[in-house]
Structure formats: C-alpha cells, structure tokens
Structure 1
C-alpha cells in the first residue's frame, strides 16, 4: 500500500511539473510576441518593406503602420486603413473599393495585424530556427478565420522577420525587412479623392 501511495505521489508530482513546464513555455512564447509587438509599436508610426508569397500570386511593397492604422503600396494596388474604413485602389482599372474589413481580411494585407490578433483566442508553442524564435499560434475556436500563424522573431532585436498564416486551406507568407520608426501623419492613412480625380469609387460597406 505504501508503494502504491508513493507511486501516486510521484505521478501527481510529474503531472504537476509537466503542466508547469507547459505553462512556462506558453508564457515564454507570449513574452516573445509581446516584445515583438513592442518593437514595432510607436505612437508616431513605423515603416517597413515586405514580400508576400501566396497561392494567388506574389508581390512586394512597403507598409506604414500607426496603431491599428496602416498604408500599404504594391505594384498592383494601394491600401489605406484608418482603423475602421479601408480604401483599396486598383491601379490597372483606376478603381477604389471602400469597405469595413474583417479581422481575417486585415491580416491578409497587413502582416503587422498580429500585434492585436495574438492576444486572444490562440494557443502558443515556440521553437528556434537559426537567429529567430518561431512562435506557432493555433486558433482555439473553429470560428476563427485565421486557423494558424507562424511568426518568426529576431532573437536580438525582437523585430518580426516573417509572418505565415493559414486561411481556409491556403497559406500566405510575408517576409518583413527594413523596419524603421518614423513620424507619420494621420492623413496618410485616409484615401484622398483629390489625388485620384478620375478613379471610380465603389462602396462595398
């Protein structure tokens, strides 16, 4: 009986230790994401270059971020988002689509949206690859449009270097570089029709 009691104590102790290690591991992954978010968060704004690889095609461009606002340019399109409304100017047909995007739609064009996304509704694990931490996020609910994310973070600067996300069955990868903090005017994140006098504006809200 004493032996059975000791075995039970040992099993409980091991189980408790295992849970503690998992908790610590999850916390360390979240800490890395917290530091990554802090490294690219500035009241004045941040700019960076990005390259997007997706099944629908590849592109590259620049992005400016200020809080939840962002402005992105590629050879195909220009996107403004003021925190609520998004304007997408398609260069090939001189057309502007106006919408109130969902969380998933924002993530598809703004890789930095993870700084708001990861804080709720996802479980974390983490590995290291070369000079990067790689945090794997999986959605806690099937209702999440973005089911998984892999966020690579530089070990020294804690700046994100890559965001890879799964929507439906399709993966999209953003490689990020040349991150700089700059003073950005709020007007940069709103579409100005005077700059595109001939563009057709289509309101999808």
Structure 2
C-alpha cells in the first residue's frame, strides 16, 4: 500500500540544524501537542503531495488518502484498498502507526529528536512559527519541518527522507469534530462485497 506521504502525512532547506533541543522550539511543539490533546475530536483536510482527510480522537483515527481508507480504534487497524476491494486487518506497532497517522509526528519530538526554532515564515499569507526536527539517531527520516499558526495549529509539514524524497502536507482545514467510538471501527455492513484479509 502506498503510504509514503505519511512517513516520508508529511522544500529542502539550506538551514543547518545543530544537535540541540531549542527552548523556543519546545514551547511551540508543547503548545501544538497540548492544543490537540485537549480536543474531543479533530478533522483535518490536507493537500500537497497527496490529498486526503483524517479524523482524530486521542490515538484513534480515520484516514482517507490515496485510494486507501483506514480505521484505527486504538488497537486494531482496518485498511480498505478500494481498487482491490479488500480490507487488511492488523495490529500495528507504534512505528507503523507513525507511518500512517501524520499527527503522531507532533508527539515524536518528546523522544529521539532534536529540534530548533527557525523563525517566522509566511505560508500562504499566514504568519507561522517554524520548527525543524532532526532525529538523534540515523533513521529513514532526515528532517521534519513544521509550520504552526497563531492558534497553535499545524499549517504545513514537510518530511525529508535520507533518500532525498520529500513529502509535503498543506493543512487546508483544521476543525473540531464530534466523534463517537464507532467511527473508528470498520463497518462490514457498509462494505458487504469486500474481501477481509486478517493479518494479525
């Protein structure tokens, strides 16, 4: 399944980032994380490398992107591949979830990343605070750039891989969303003809 937008949902910079944990950058990241964690549900409409949407509540999410719709209820992941008319069911690891859910990146700074405040940037007419994150140890991701608006909501995320590949996510709408737990579970009744493949 093609999920590269999320790991490598999410422009090369000439900025040289030293190995550090910048106080100003941490303030921005803490505020963004706190803003999300206090919400009872959030819907994000995004574009960029690929278009899609995600509904979030805590660790749970429904992601619709690139011809794949995924539901995660905190334990089980259902991934519906429309062109194959099949649903893959799995129990994902944290690393796999980070590859699927772009919003999990906002908590990644707490463990294994350095970060620096890169100043104020203009993103589509919006003044944003920019933070650049780099992993403390070598991994597939080389650098993550996050631009945040005055409401402490992410506006833009760019993920640069060590292979030179970049994935850009432009967040077009960031909205409160009423949710219930059933939203994050695959409903077989709505997809009666799909093949279910249990990978657990």
Measured against the shorter chain, the TM-score band is 0.7 to 0.9
Q: Residue in 2 aligned with 1:51? A: 47
Structure-2 change in CA distance of 1:25 and 1:104 (3 Å): closer
Separation of aligned partners in 2, 1:167 and 1:106: 17
Aligned residues between the structures? 177
Q: Residue in 1 aligned with 2:71? A: 80
Q: Which runs of 5+ in 2 are unaligned?
A: 1-17
Post-superposition CA distance 1:68-120 (Å, at most 9, x none): 11101236121111223211101112111122334443333322112321211
Report how far residue 52 of structure 1 moved: 4.3
Q: Secondary structure at the match of 1:107?
A: helix
Separation of aligned partners in 2, 1:41 and 1:158: 12
Richer in helix (by share): 1
Q: Residue in 2 aligned with 1:162? A: 156
Q: Residue in 2 aligned with 1:189? A: 184
Report how far residue 50 of structure 1 moved: 0.9
Q: Which runs of 5+ in 1 are unaligned?
A: 1-21, 54-58
CA-based RMSD of the aligned residues comes to: 2.3
Separation of aligned partners in 2, 1:76 and 1:51: 14
Separation of aligned partners in 1, 2:55 and 2:48: 15
TM-score normalised by length of structure 1 = 0.77
Report how far residue 25 of structure 1 moved: 7.1
Separation of aligned partners in 1, 2:100 and 2:23: 28
Separation of aligned partners in 2, 1:110 and 1:46: 13
Q: List structure 1 segments (4+ residues) > 4 angstroms apart after TM superposition.
A: 22-25
Higher RCO structure (Cα 8 Å, ≥6 apart): 2
Identify which of 112, 121, 131 aligns with 1:129: 121
Identify which of 151, 174, 179 aligns with 2:146: 151
Report how far residue 168 of structure 1 moved: 4.6
Q: Residues 71 and 189 of structure 1 are in contact (CA less than 8 Å); yes or no, is this contact kept in structure 2?
A: yes
Q: Residues 42 and 66 of structure 1 are in contact (CA less than 8 Å); yes or no, is this contact kept in structure 2?
A: no
